[in-house]
Amino acid sequence: MSNTSKPPEPLSRAATILEAVASVEPNGLEVAKIAQNAGLPLATAHRLVQSLVAVGYLEGGRRGGYRLGARLYGLLERGVTRDELSSICRPLLQRAANELNLVVFLSRTSGRRIVTAVQAIPEKISGSLVLLGSDAPFHATASGKLFLAGMAPDKREDFFGTCYLEQYRPSTITDPNELRREIDRVRAAGYATCRDEFDENVYSLACPVELAGNPLAFVAGVIGFEPDLLAEDGEPRILGHVRKIAADLSAIVSALFKSG
């Protein structure tokens, strides 16, 4: 007899649902369509979808379709080491750092802090540079604002209800309602900035790096002293560069996870 055993039927059905949802990211999929694509009865699909939402493998569904959840992406991310990520993404980040004469970074979340996955420093330094620390808060960084903007509404409200908004600089946003308005602006714009909110005279701009349609996976950006960084053509020029970096990294990181 063969030692190969089939997975339990509920697990096999759950996997089929996840595959069906993943195939249409980032817009999500209604339960009826999930049932159709997975070849399951509607009642069965609905029950399994709710179970997957409960454990964080799916999210959404209130007004739109269901999409892959943050917990599932967290498992994927932990399967790739920092060294692997750094070695694959660093060449692109290094080229951008050399071109812009700025520190360019790739960040991700760890609990309720933002951590730097990779940062590239210009090889020929001209002027002063700002280096990122090992971690930073959500509310006072460009990366953090993007991650908040990409959260499911209930998780974002949980953040507002339980996280202390420390004031690092006079311009740090510490009022939850003001931060909500800022997050709405970030979501509409598709990028975030931070001006003198965490470190004195430091400006950063960040854009989401999508992983299979999930904007919460990683964020790419640049950081520097505000007078230097915005000296030529201001924010639009920097935004154009960062959007290109994020798009290129999205392709690289997505390929990395697909091969993992």
Q: In this structure, are residues 221 and 204 in contact, taking their beta carbons and an 8 Å threshold? A: yes
Q: Once rounded to an integer, what is the mean pLDDT over residues 81-101?
A: 78
Q: Once rounded to an integer, what is the mean pLDDT over residues 100-117?
A: 84
Q: Once rounded to an integer, what is the mean pLDDT over residues 15-39?
A: 76
Q: How far apart are CA 188 and CA 202, in angstroms?
A: 24
Q: What is the pLDDT of residue 232?
A: 63
The predicted-structure confidence for 221-240, as pLDDT tens digits, reads as follows 999 888 777 766 678 888 99
51-55, 183-187, 231-235: the lowest-pLDDT one: 231-235
Of the pLDDT bands very low, low, confident and very high (cuts 50, 70, 90), residue 165 is very high
CB atoms under 10 Å from CB of 219, counted, come to 30
Q: Is the pLDDT of residue 6 over 50?
A: no
Q: What is the pLDDT of residue 158?
A: 85
Q: Is the pLDDT of residue 184 over 90?
A: yes
Q: Is the pLDDT of residue 103 over 80?
A: yes
Q: What is the pLDDT of residue 52?
A: 84
Q: How far apart are CA 74 and CA 218, in angstroms?
A: 11
Question: How many angstroms separate the Cα of 248 from the Cα of each of 49, 66, 93, 134, 253?
Answer: 33, 27, 10, 24, 9
Q: Is the pLDDT of residue 258 over 70?
A: no
Instruction: Choose between 228 and 155: higher pLDDT.
Output: 155
Q: What is the pLDDT of residue 118?
A: 86
Q: In this structure, are residues 257 and 141 in contact, taking their beta carbons and an 8 Å threshold? A: no
Instruction: Choose between 228 and 77: higher pLDDT.
Output: 228
Gyration radius of the chain's alpha carbons: 20
Q: What is the pLDDT of residue 71?
A: 66
Contacts for 118 with CB less than 8 Å, ≥ 6 apart: 85, 86, 89, 90, 93, 105, 106
Distance of CA 125 to the CA centre of its chain: 29
Q: Is the pLDDT of residue 26 over 70?
A: no
User: Which candidate, 148, 107, 131, 146, places its Cα nearest to that of 223?
Assistant: 131
Q: What is the pLDDT of residue 143?
A: 93
Q: Is the pLDDT of residue 3 over 50?
A: no
Share of the chain above pLDDT 70, in %: 77
Residue type, 212: A
Q: Is the pLDDT of residue 130 over 60?
A: yes
